[in-house]
Amino acid sequence: MATATHKCVHCEKKAKHEAQSEEFNFAVLVALVPLMVFTLFGQIGLF
């Protein structure tokens, strides 16, 4: 992610919070991918 300079403290805090939220949401998505793959393959009979 590119770092941007913010003119006010509020904008800087908001950008930092959004970056942390985005990182957490991506981690949850990556953690759920194996579950979805195993469920899909299990339903079509590959496991």
- Confidence at residue 9, expressed as pLDDT on a 0 to 100 scale: 87
Question: What tens digit of pLDDT does each residue of 2-40 get?
Answer: 555 768 889 989 999 999 999 999 999 999 999 999 999
Q: What is the DSSP string of 28-41?
A: HHHHHHHHHHHHHH
Closest CA to 38 of 28, 29, 47, 30: 47
Would you state the pLDDT for residue 47? 67
d(CA 29, CA 36): 10
Cβ contact 10:19 at 8 Å: no
**pTM for this model (two decimals):** 0.58
Alpha carbons 28 and 46: distance in angstroms, whole number: 25
